[in-house]
Amino acid sequence: MSDVRVRFAPSPTGTLHIGSARTALYNFLFARHHQGVMVLRVEDTDLKRSRREHEVSIIRDLHWLGLRADEGPDVDGGYGPYRQSERTALYEDGVQRLLETGWAYRCFCTQERLDALKREQLARGEMPKYDRLCLNQSLETVRARLRAGEEATVRFKVPAGDVSFDDLIHGPITFSADVIGDFILRRTDGGFAYNYAVVVDDAGMKITHVVRGEDHITNTARQLMLYRALDEPAPAYAHHSLILGPDGGKLSKRHGATSIGEFRDMGYLAGAVVNYLALLSWHPGGEREKFTLEELVAEFDMSRVSKSPAVFDLDKLNWLNGLYIREMGSAELSEQVRPYLHEEGIALAEGQRDIVSAAIQSNLVVLEDAPRYARVFVEELSLPASVHLEVLHEEGVAGVLALLREALAGGGDEYPPVEEAKAILKQVADACKDKGIKGKAIYKPLRVALTGLDQGPELFYLVSGLGRSRILERLDAALTYLDERGSA
């Protein structure tokens, strides 16, 4: 299957939805697994709603996910143009071929007549479809009506019989032509119908496999008829399930974020999003759930894509994203969280950044959580305002604080390395142990004196990341507070 060619064909009428992103991912994985080609084709024939900025956004989001197409508007591969709006001459050529070979005909029926026909058929309990009133007009009649200025669509003459295909996910599927009316290929305004344009594009781009959502299954019968009429080989089809919300309805804004850009802005990592999307319907076998993109390419098999609906589980995505965050190096994480900290006005010194990133890393589910956990390293502290001051009132606390002050007062880096901070705390703990003080009686008062809180990052991260001068100021303030309280 080294000649595999697939396509992802979004409409630039909005941003990249998470459901469309999964379609792009399955196309990418299938193509890469078989050393094939993925084409990006922009279906921008909806002139009222299509926007070039949406196209740019979609390509940017695909690149962020690591799903770079081999051919497309930004990478010419010899089968373009790759925007439907630039392929109208090809569509017109195909229409003329179908008219000449008798597979298509001109229809002069007005919308009013078509609406009335539909009402009558429904009233009789029939499936609405075109009654072929215009099918058998002579060529002379058609030409005369066109010269007279009458508007006409071009319809496809649906052949009798069943249309069957073997879906790579759903298995054998059959449609009866009896329920499919002669559908429109070209509208009166000169625009071309979706099902027709798609076939011309897929045939012209030598697409071998169409991987798309199951909402397109009903389109397949019409498209297969067109391949036959155009004397082009039809691709294989694989229709994956749609993504449902937790309530069983179609995934939408009411369920929260749905676009890739929203997830990126919230601080989800591309690797985690790709990993999660792959698992929504694809089952790798075994208990393993974490895969890199390269591993997904190696493992992906269309036969293991389920036809059952996929339910979007935000908790599962959050779990995966947390795993990916915890595997990052502190320097990389520091760069990733910097814009989120900046947006909240949290400025870290050069020596602080990696220390703070390491300190908050285990708490992060998404990157936008970073300011909440990092704030403790930059906020001002006023001890009398702390609700945990009772911890400082316990016996021996002043001695514990004094020991840490003594260990830090000798000088050194403003932000001591973590290992040095651990050594300092061990020195304090050993000295306290000699005085019969241990455990919470050491660490809890130190935490409250340094942050005003009774929980937060590991104490050695605080000693490392708060800064030597800030810690000394806070220890002095705590000792002064205790001295004044004792004097009172």
φ, ψ of residue 386 to 5 degrees: the values are -75, 140
Q: Are 232 and 200 in contact (CB under 8 A)?
A: no
- The alpha carbon torsion through 470, 476, 477, 480 (nearest 10 deg) reads 180
Amino acid identity for residue 106 in this structure: R
* Cα separation, 36 vs 127, whole angstroms: 42
**Residue 250: which of 169, 313, 170, 309 has the closest Cα?**
309
In angstroms, how far apart are the furthest CA atoms of the chain? 114
φ, ψ of residue 156 to 5 degrees: the values are -90, 135
- Tokens representing residue 24 in the block: 């792009």
| Catalytic residue check, 438 | no
Q: Are 371 and 342 in contact (CB under 8 A)?
A: no
The catalytic position among 118, 129, 253, 435 is: 253
What is the full DSSP assignment across 28-91?
HHHHHHTT-EEEE-B----TTT--HHHHHHHHHHHHHHT---SBBTTB--SS---BGGG-HHHH
Q: Are 337 and 365 in contact (CB under 8 A)?
A: no
What is the full DSSP assignment across 201-246?
HHHHTT--EEEEEGGGHHHHHHHHHHHHHHT-PPPEEEEEPPEEPT
Please list, in sequence order, all residues whose beta carbon lies within 8 angstroms of the beta carbon of residue 432, skipping any fewer than 6 positions away: 399, 400, 403, 438, 441, 442
The residues annotated as belonging to the active site are: 253
